[in-house]
Amino acid sequence: MPLDLAEQSSREQLQTTFISCRKTSLALATRFPVEDWMLQSMPDASPIKWHLAHTSWFYEAFVLEKFKPDYTPFDPSFNFLFNSYYEQIGERHPRPARGMLSRPTAEQVVDYRAHIDRAVSALILDLPEAQFADLADLVQLGCVHEEQHQELLLTDIQHGLFQNPMRPAAFDRESLSGERGAETSETEVARSWRHFDGGLTEVGHKGAGFAFDNEGPHHKIYLAPFYLASHLSTIGDYADFIADGGYSTPTLWLSDGWARVQSENWCAPLYWRREEPGDNWTGFSLFGEAPLEKEAPVWGLSYYEAAAFAEWTGYRLPTEFEWEYASQCAPLTGQFLRGAGFSLPRAGEDVSSRDSGTIPADVHRRYTGLCGMFGSVWQWTASPYVAYPGFRTAAGAVGEYNGKFMSSQMVLRGGSSATPNGHIRRTYRNFFPPHARWQFAGLRLARDV
Amino acid sequence: MPLDLAEQSSREQLQTTFISCRKTSLALATRFPVEDWMLQSMPDASPIKWHLAHTSWFYEAFVLEKFKPDYTPFDPSFNFLFNSYYEQIGERHPRPARGMLSRPTAEQVVDYRAHIDRAVSALILDLPEAQFADLADLVQLGCVHEEQHQELLLTDIQHGLFQNPMRPAAFDRESLSGERGAETSETEVARSWRHFDGGLTEVGHKGAGFAFDNEGPHHKIYLAPFYLASHLSTIGDYADFIADGGYSTPTLWLSDGWARVQSENWCAPLYWRREEPGDNWTGFSLFGEAPLEKEAPVWGLSYYEAAAFAEWTGYRLPTEFEWEYASQCAPLTGQFLRGAGFSLPRAGEDVSSRDSGTIPADVHRRYTGLCGMFGSVWQWTASPYVAYPGFRTAAGAVGEYNGKFMSSQMVLRGGSSATPNGHIRRTYRNFFPPHARWQFAGLRLARDV
Amino acid sequence: MPLDLAEQSSREQLQTTFISCRKTSLALATRFPVEDWMLQSMPDASPIKWHLAHTSWFYEAFVLEKFKPDYTPFDPSFNFLFNSYYEQIGERHPRPARGMLSRPTAEQVVDYRAHIDRAVSALILDLPEAQFADLADLVQLGCVHEEQHQELLLTDIQHGLFQNPMRPAAFDRESLSGERGAETSETEVARSWRHFDGGLTEVGHKGAGFAFDNEGPHHKIYLAPFYLASHLSTIGDYADFIADGGYSTPTLWLSDGWARVQSENWCAPLYWRREEPGDNWTGFSLFGEAPLEKEAPVWGLSYYEAAAFAEWTGYRLPTEFEWEYASQCAPLTGQFLRGAGFSLPRAGEDVSSRDSGTIPADVHRRYTGLCGMFGSVWQWTASPYVAYPGFRTAAGAVGEYNGKFMSSQMVLRGGSSATPNGHIRRTYRNFFPPHARWQFAGLRLARDV
Amino acid sequence: MPLDLAEQSSREQLQTTFISCRKTSLALATRFPVEDWMLQSMPDASPIKWHLAHTSWFYEAFVLEKFKPDYTPFDPSFNFLFNSYYEQIGERHPRPARGMLSRPTAEQVVDYRAHIDRAVSALILDLPEAQFADLADLVQLGCVHEEQHQELLLTDIQHGLFQNPMRPAAFDRESLSGERGAETSETEVARSWRHFDGGLTEVGHKGAGFAFDNEGPHHKIYLAPFYLASHLSTIGDYADFIADGGYSTPTLWLSDGWARVQSENWCAPLYWRREEPGDNWTGFSLFGEAPLEKEAPVWGLSYYEAAAFAEWTGYRLPTEFEWEYASQCAPLTGQFLRGAGFSLPRAGEDVSSRDSGTIPADVHRRYTGLCGMFGSVWQWTASPYVAYPGFRTAAGAVGEYNGKFMSSQMVLRGGSSATPNGHIRRTYRNFFPPHARWQFAGLRLARDV
C-alpha cells in the first residue's frame, strides 16, 4: 500500500529531522565543560544547561502533553524551571535566576533530553494517522525553536566566557577568519551600490514551507526606488568610524543610543579591545581573543551603533522591506558553523532548494552582485519590529511565541554563520532591542535615489 | 509704497503672534503659586520655572545669537542651565536635576522672559529685510516650540501635584466634564465603525503651512481597507476592561507592558483611584480629584495600556497612516483649554482655515461621522516613531529637534484639549515612549476588513 | 503670694524661651527665597519649608494633643505630611518625597507656625499648675528638637544650593573665615599633644539640666591613658593628606570607606573644588565658593574620611569617652552663627554657666590648652553610637527620638558654629552614618601613650 | 640530637595539621556536584570552587612567594582571580562576578590544590631552621584562614541551594535535630538567669596560643553586674515572637532594621516557610526542607532580628564583654559538623585542653549552668565591631585581614556547629553586618541587674 509507505517515509523523515536537531544541540553543548553550562552572564542570556532543558521542555509542554494524554512529566518541577515566557502555561522561574539552578545537574539534563528524544520519537512513529499532521506541525515548531536556541546558546556562552578575564577560547583558533569572514568568492566582487526600482510590491511569507507567524500575512507595500550596498560593512569601515571620533560625536547618535554611550562608556563594539600602543584592534569570540581582520564583516553591534555608523557614512540602514525586496537577487546560502571545525548534521547544507523560484530572470541578471545577504552576519534594518497588516496571534500558549515582543525592538535580516540553515529565509524576521550588543549582528548600508 | 506696508504688516503680525504666545505661557504659569514652579516629580517632567526659562533660552540660542551679532546673553549661565538637549550648543544641566534649580528665582525668570520679549520684538521690527524671512522661520519655530511646552507644562505640573497626598486642585472644578468630555454635538452621533477603502495613497506634510521636519517628506504608501471607530474609547469602556481583569491577564499585554504592570503594580490608569467600597472610580486632574464620567474619552494611558485594551476588545489600534488617511473626513477643531476658565489669546480658535481643502466631496459625504479626531485626547497609534522615506535632519542644532528621538517611541495623533491650536494638524506626529502615562493620551479603535 | 509670682515667672521664662526659639527658625529661613524652601537635594536632607512645618507639628503631636483635649489640628493632613519618623503616631509621607510638597505653600506654613506659637503660648500661660511641670518638659523637648532642626536646616540648604552649578551664596561673604575659623585667641596656643591619665572614671549625663536620653545613664568606664591633640585638624592638614595620595591609597581606608571612594569617585571633601591650574582649593559654603583657608578647621568630612586621614597621620580618632573625659578641661563656648551676620536671640551666648563646676582645680591647671572643643566643628569619634549600660527608651512615641537609631552610626562630639548654644554640652552625643559628608564635621586626633 | 628530633617532630606536626585542614576543605566540597561549585547567589557569598582556589592562593601569596624566591605561580592569572580583598597584593576580580568564573574548571582547581599541598609541604619539611618559626606562623594563619572558609563554604552553598525552587538537600536528613539542636546533656538544665558580678576586669586574648589580631590587645574594662540567660533562645521562642506580630511592630526594631523589614518584606527568618494551613514552620538547611524543632536554638537571624526579638522579650543582647566574661564558666566544646555524617579529621575534637585554666574554682562552682555557649550557634552581641584600645594593624597585606572591616558590623561570639574546632575560643570575635541573615547566627539574652 503505497500510502502507508509514503506515510512511513514522512514519519521517518520527521524523526530523522527531529533527532538530527536534538543531536546538534548536544554536540554544541558538549564542546564546553560542565562549568560553562552553569554560566548566566546577564538576564538576557541563559546558561547552556538551561537551553538544553528548555528546548526539551518545549516538546513536553506543546507536544507530549497534547498528544499523549497519560504522559507523566519527566520531573514535575521542570514545568516551572524551564518554561521561558509562556504565561498561559503557568508560573516560571525568574529569568535572571536561571544561573542559580545548579540542580538538575548536567547529567540529569542529558537524561531528560534522552527521555524526550525517546518519547517524541515514539509518538512520531506510533500516533494515529488522524493526528499526525498536527503532530508534525508542532514537532517542526519544536525543531525550529530548538535551532533558534542553538544560535542563542553560542551567543550567550560567548558573552559568558567574555566575563572571564582569562578570555578562554571555546573552539580552536584554526579558522577564525573563515568563520566570520566574507565568502571568498564574493570578495572579488567590487564594492558598489545596487539600484532597485521599488514600486508597489509584496512582502511576507506565502506558500507551503514553514515560516513563523510574524513573517506574514503576505501583503502589499509601496517602495520608493533605493540603492543597497553590494557588501556588508566591514571591521575596517567600523574602525574608521571609531578613529574619526564616532563614539564621541553625539550628533551621529539617536538620543537613546547616546545615553547608552555615556552611561555604559561605550567606545567600541562590546568584544573589541584596543591593543596598546598603536591603533590595532583585538576581538573576542568563541575562538578566544585575536587581531581583527579589516575585510571581514563587522558584527557584535547594537542597533544604536549600526545606526550611528550609517549616519556617519552619510547613508542609512535599509528598511526590512527594502532588504527583503532586494534579497530576491541573492542566492540562499546557509553557512551554519562553517569553519568552526564542527561536523554537525546539517552544517554547510545547501538551502537554495528552499528558494521559491519566483525570481524573474531579468531581475536576477540585473542585480547579481549582492554579497553576504544570507548566513554571514545578521543585518540591522531601520524597521521596528511590528505586526504586519492583518496579523493575529495564534490561539493558545503557542501564540505567545512572537507577537507579544512587538514593542521597542528592531528587525534584523539575513542570518549569521551561527544561524542554523533552516532559518535562512528571505522573509525571516529576527528581532532584538536596539541596545543589544552580544549577537552576531552587523549591517549593510542603503541610500535614497 | 505698498510693499513696505505689506512688510510692516507681516512684521507686526509676527510680533503679535510672538507676544501672544509668550503671554499664554506666563498666563498658564501664574495660575500656580511659586512653590509649584519648583516641582520636578520625575526625570521626564520639568518644573514650570524651567519651562518658562527654557522657552526663552530657545530664542536666545536660535534667534538672538544668530541675528544680533553683538548680543549679550541675559545671564551667561543660562545657556548651561536651560538648554534641554541640544548637543551642538554645548554641555547642559542634567535633566533629572532641573528641580534642584531654586535659583534663578521665579522673579528672575520672569525678568528673563521680559528681556527676551523685548529683544526678539525689536529684532522682528528692525532686522534688515534680507534676513527677515529667515528670522520669521525661526521665530515661528520658537513659537511652536513654546506651544509644545505649554502642553508639557500642564501635563508636568499635573503629575507634580499628583505626588501630593492632599491632591490639590490647580483650577476650579466648574467644568471638568466640559474640559475632557467629547463635544456635545458629536455625542449625538451613534458609535459605529467607519469603513475606509485604502489603496495607494499619500501621507505626510506638503505645501506652504508650517510643519515639523518629521511630518515629511510627503510620500506614497499602500493601505489595505480598514475600519476606524467613529468615537474615542471612553472611560466607561476602559472601566469595563479593568472590571474584566484586564490588569491581571498577561496574554492581553505586550511582554514589555506586562513587565511594567508587574514591576510597578499597575492596576488602573495612573490618575485613577477606586472609591471604597464599591467599584466607582475617581480621577485626578488639574481640577483635583473627582468622580470619573463614563462617557468622556479615556486619557492618561500608556501605549501598553492602550494596546492591551485594544487586544481585549478584539480589535486593534490604527496605524498612524490609517489615522491620517481617515482624518480627511473630520474637521480640524482646536479646543485649547476649552472649559478651563482661561481667557487666553487663542483659546477656541477656529483652525479649520488651515485645512488644505483637498478633501474630495464624495469622500466627505461618505465618511462624515468621525468624532473627536482633533483636540480632544491624543490617540495612540500602532506605529513606532520612525523617519519617513527620504527624511534627513536639518543642519545645525535645530536638526536635533525631532530626528534623534526616532527610537523606541510610538506615534500619537490628533491633539488634546491642552494642545495649542497651532498644533492641530492632520500630519502632526506626537511621540512618547510606550510606558509614558502622564500625557492626555487615549485611543480610538480600528479593525481589519 | 510669692509662689504665684515665681510660677508666673517660670511660665514667662518658658514662653520667652519658646518664642525665641521659634523666631530663630523663621529668621534663618527668611534669609532664603521661597524657591529655596522647596529644595530637597537628597533623601537625607529636608526642605526648609518641611523643617519649619515639622518643628511646628512636633508641638501639635506631643504637646497640644496631650494637654488640650479639645484641640483641633490646624490642618488634619499635616499629621501625615510632617511626621518625620514616629511610627507610633501613624503613617507618614515618604521621606525622599518631601521636596514634592509644593503645597502647603510657604505662606501657609508661616501661618501654621503662628498658629502653633499662639496655641502653645496660651497653654504655657494658662495650663493648671498640676500639669505644668509635664508641659514644661515637653515644651523644652520641643525647643531643643527645633534647635536641632535649625542646624539641619543650614546643612541641608547648603547641600541643596550646592547642586546648583551657579553655586549661589546664601549669606554675605564678609566673614567666612570668622565663621568657620579657629578662635583667634586659641590659635596662639601651640599645637601639641595633651596627656590624660584615664583610669576608672564616669561618663554620661547626671544632674538637673536637660539632656537627651541617649546621654545617660551616667556610668563607670575604664580608660587607658591617652593623648589628645590640642587643636582640631585643619584644612591645611587635610590638603596635605590629599596631596600625599590619601584618596588613592586603599590601605588607609576602612573597607566600606574605600568602596565609597571608588563607587562615588571621592577625591576631596564634598564641598571642595581644585582650582586649575595649580593646587589651590576652593570650598563651597553658605557664603558661596571661596578659597579655603589652611589654618581653619577642616569640616564637611565623612567618618570614613576622618578615619583615613587619622590613619595617614599615624594617630587615631579618640573614643567618645576619651573626648568627654578630656573635655572637662575646656570651657563651654557656644558660637552659634558667629560671624554669619545674624542678630539672633541667642547668638554668642555665654553657655559656660551651664558648666557643672565639677572640674577639679588641678585638672584644669594641668590641661589648659585644648582649643576648639566646643562650637567650632563636630568631631568624629571612634565610637559607634550604641546605648549606654542600662539605657531604656522612654514609653510612647517620644521614646523613638534617639534609641532606634543606635545602629551603624558613629558619635560626634563638641558642636559646630551652626549648633545652637543649647546643644553645647560635654555629654552631648551627635550621630551620623559613617558616609555622611554634608555636616559641619571634622576631627581632632588622639594617640596611645 | 634531641633538638633535631624535636624540630622534625614540630615540622611533621605542622605538616599534618596543614594537610588535615586541606583535606577537610576538599571533603566538604566533594559532597556537592560540580554544578554546585559554580553557584554565587549574592555578592556576599562565594562559589565553592572559588573558596577552594582562594584558600590555596592564600598560601601562594603569603607563604610560597615569601619563602621560595624562585617560586613560579601555578597559573599567573590566579593572583588576579583568587585574591579576595588584599589591596596591597594588587587588582582583583570583582567580588560579585566570582560566579562568572567557569574557568578554571573544578578539575583544574583540584590540581591547583594538590600543587599547593605539595609545595607547602616541601617548604615545611625543608626550609632552613632560621626561617621556620616565621613559616610556621604563616602556615598556621593559612590554616585558620582556610577553616574560616570551610564554614563560609557551608553557609554560602546553603544560600545558593536555597535559590533553587526544588530546595535540594545537600546532606542526608538523618540527623538534622542533632546537627543544630542543643546538646542533650544541657537540655536537662532548667532555663534560668545566671548572675554575674562584673566590676573591673580584663578581656581580650593573652598568652601563647594562636589568636587573630582583632582579639587583642588584652585590656581592662569595667562591667556593671548583669544576668545572662542559661540557654540560647530557641526556635519556639522566636516563633512566639512572630506569632505576636514581631515583624509588624515597628517599635521593636531599630530604624535601619525596620526599613529592611519593609523593603525586603521580611516576615520570618530567611530560611523559614510557613506551612499552609496552620501555623507550623518549615526550615531550609543543607539537609533540605524539614519541620522546625521548637527546642532547638534559633539560627539564621540577622542582628536586626535578634535585637527586635530581644526588645520583644523585654530583655536585651549581651555586650561582647559580658559574653566573654561569663564564658569563663562554660567548657570549650567544639562540635564541628557533629551529626552531619562526616568523618572529618577534627570533627568532635575535644578543645577544652586549649582552655587557659585560669577560671577560679569558686567562679566555676557558682556559675555552672551556661549551656550552648560554644559550637552550637553564633550569638549576636550588642557590640559593634571596633578595635580594642591599642590595636594596630600588622604591616603588609596580612594587616588587611581584620582591621579594615571595623565599620558598621556587629560582633558574634561562640561559634556554630559549622565552625571548625580551632575557632572555638573565649576571645574569638566573629563579625557580620547587621542585616546579614545567612549565617548560623542566633542569640542568648541578657538583662540588667
Q: Which of helix, strand or coil describes residue D147?
A: helix
- What pLDDT shows up at residue C7? 67
Instruction: Answer whether residue B351 shows pLDDT above 70.
Output: no
- What pLDDT shows up at residue B395? 85
* Cβ contacts of A109-116, under 8 Å, gap ≥ 24: A109/A49, A109/A52, A109/A53, A109/A56, A110/A26, A110/A52, A112/A53, A112/A56, A112/A74, A112/A75, A112/A78, A113/A22, A113/A25, A113/A26, A113/A52, A113/A53, A113/A56, A115/A74, A116/A22, A116/A56, A116/A59, A116/A60, A116/A64, A116/A74
Q: If you average pLDDT over residues A85-107, what whole number do you get?
A: 94
CB contact under 8 A, B99 and C99: yes
Instruction: Answer whether residue D24 shows pLDDT above 90.
Output: yes
Give per-residue pLDDT as tens, A211-254: 999 999 999 999 999 999 999 999 999 999 999 999 999 999 99
- What pLDDT shows up at residue D394? 85
Contacts of B405 in chain A (CB under 8 A): 254-255
Q: How confident is residue C181, by pLDDT bands cut at 50, 70 and 90?
A: very low
| Interface residue ranges in chain C relative to chain D, Cβ cutoff 8 Å | 85, 87-88, 200, 219-222, 224, 250-251, 253-258, 303-304, 382-384, 386-387, 389-390, 399-400, 404-408, 434, 448
Contacts of D99 in chain A (CB under 8 A): 99
Provide the number of CB pairs (under 8 Å) joining chain A to chain B. Answer: 80
Picking from D91, D92, D102 by the largest number of A CB atoms within 10 A of its own CB, the best residue to mutate is: D102
Our CA-based measurement puts residue C311 at a distance from the nearest CA of chain B, in whole angstroms, of: 36
Instruction: Answer whether residue A343 shows pLDDT above 50.
Output: no
Give per-residue pLDDT as tens, D52-86: 999 999 999 999 999 999 999 999 999 999 999 89
Q: If you average pLDDT over residues B192-216, what whole number do you get?
A: 95
Q: How confident is residue B5, by pLDDT bands cut at 50, 70 and 90?
A: low
Q: Which of helix, strand or coil describes residue B314?
A: coil
Those residues whose C-beta lies under 8 Å from the C-beta of residue B25, and which sit 6 or more positions away, are B51, B52, B55, B113, B146, B149, B150, B153
**Beta-carbon neighbour count of residue D35 at 10 Å?**
23
- Ranges of beta strands (E only) in D204-295 are 219-223, 226-229, 272-275, 280-285, 288-291
Contacts of C253 in chain D (CB under 8 A): 404
Mean per-residue pLDDT of chain C: 90
Our CA-based measurement puts residue D47 at a distance from the nearest CA of chain A, in whole angstroms, of: 11
Q: How confident is residue A63, by pLDDT bands cut at 50, 70 and 90?
A: very high
- What pLDDT shows up at residue C174? 58
Q: Which of C200, C250, C407 sits opposite D256 (nearest CB)?
A: C407
CB contact under 8 A, D164 and A103: yes
Give per-residue pLDDT as tens, C57-97: 999 999 999 999 999 999 999 999 999 989 888 899 999 99
Nearest chain B residue to C99 by CA: give it: B39
Instruction: Answer whether residue A348 shows pLDDT above 50.
Output: no
- What pLDDT shows up at residue B368? 64
Q: How confident is residue B7, by pLDDT bands cut at 50, 70 and 90?
A: low
Those residues whose C-beta lies under 8 Å from the C-beta of residue A392, and which sit 6 or more positions away, are none
Our CA-based measurement puts residue C287 at a distance from the nearest CA of chain B, in whole angstroms, of: 15
Our CA-based measurement puts residue C163 at a distance from the nearest CA of chain B, in whole angstroms, of: 6
Q: Which of C34, C80, C99 sits opposite B34 (nearest CB)?
A: C34
What residue spans of C60-201 are helical by DSSP H?
65-67, 78-81, 106-126, 129-162, 176-180, 184-187
- What pLDDT shows up at residue C125? 96
Instruction: Answer whether residue B404 shows pLDDT above 80.
Output: yes
- CA–CA gap between residue A256 and residue A319 (Å, rounded): 20
Mean per-residue pLDDT of chain D: 90
- Distance set, CA A180 to CA A160, A302, C10 (Å): 20, 17, 91
Q: How confident is residue C367, by pLDDT bands cut at 50, 70 and 90?
A: low
Instruction: Answer whether residue C294 shows pLDDT above 70.
Output: yes
- CA–CA gap between residue B282 and residue A187 (Å, rounded): 67
Nearest chain A residue to D105 by CA: give it: A35
Instruction: Answer whether residue D368 shows pLDDT above 70.
Output: no
Q: If you average pLDDT over residues A405-434, what whole number do you get?
A: 96
Those residues whose C-beta lies under 8 Å from the C-beta of residue D231, and which sit 6 or more positions away, are D182, D186, D189, D191, D371, D372, D444
Q: Which of helix, strand or coil describes residue A41?
A: coil
Structure ipTM: 0.92
| Interface residue ranges in chain B relative to chain A, Cβ cutoff 8 Å | 85, 87-88, 200, 219-222, 224, 250-251, 253-258, 303-304, 382-384, 386-387, 389-390, 399-400, 404-408, 434, 448
Contacts of D165 in chain A (CB under 8 A): 77, 80-81, 93
Contacts of C258 in chain D (CB under 8 A): 87, 404
CB contact under 8 A, D250 and C224: no
Least confident stretch, A185-194, C246-255, D430-439: A185-194
Least confident stretch, C261-265, D32-36, D230-234, D368-372: D368-372
CA neighbor of D57 nearest in space, from D76, D44, D70: D76
Give per-residue pLDDT as tens, D208-238: 889 999 999 999 999 999 999 999 999 999 9
Our CA-based measurement puts residue B14 at a distance from the nearest CA of chain C, in whole angstroms, of: 34
Our CA-based measurement puts residue A143 at a distance from the nearest CA of chain D, in whole angstroms, of: 28
Give per-residue pLDDT as tens, C100-157: 999 999 999 999 999 999 999 999 999 999 999 999 999 999 999 999 999 999 999 9
Q: How confident is residue B4, by pLDDT bands cut at 50, 70 and 90?
A: low
Tell me the three cell numbers of residue D372: 550552648
Q: How confident is residue B120, by pLDDT bands cut at 50, 70 and 90?
A: very high
Instruction: Answer whether residue B199 shows pLDDT above 90.
Output: yes
Our CA-based measurement puts residue D45 at a distance from the nearest CA of chain A, in whole angstroms, of: 13
Amino acid at B393: T
Q: Which residue has the higher pLDDT, B414 or B186?
A: B414
Give per-residue pLDDT as tens, A173-224: 654 344 444 444 444 678 999 999 999 999 999 988 899 999 999 999 999 9
Q: Which of C37, C102, C106 sits opposite B39 (nearest CB)?
A: C102
For chains A and C, having 3+ Cβ pairs within 8 Å is answered no
Phi and psi dihedrals of B286, rounded to 5?
Answer: -65, -10
Least confident stretch, A419-423, D188-192, D308-312, D388-392: D188-192
- CA–CA gap between residue D147 and residue D139 (Å, rounded): 12
Give per-residue pLDDT as tens, D246-294: 999 999 999 999 999 999 999 999 999 998 877 789 999 999 999 999 9
CB of C381 within 8 A of CB of C318? Answer: yes
pLDDT cut 90: percent of chain C above it:
78
Q: If you average pLDDT over residues B318-329, what whole number do you get?
A: 96
- What pLDDT shows up at residue B397? 83
- What pLDDT shows up at residue D148? 97
Q: Which chains touch D (3 or more CB pairs under 8 A)?
A: A, C
Q: If you average pLDDT over residues C11-25, what whole number do you get?
A: 96
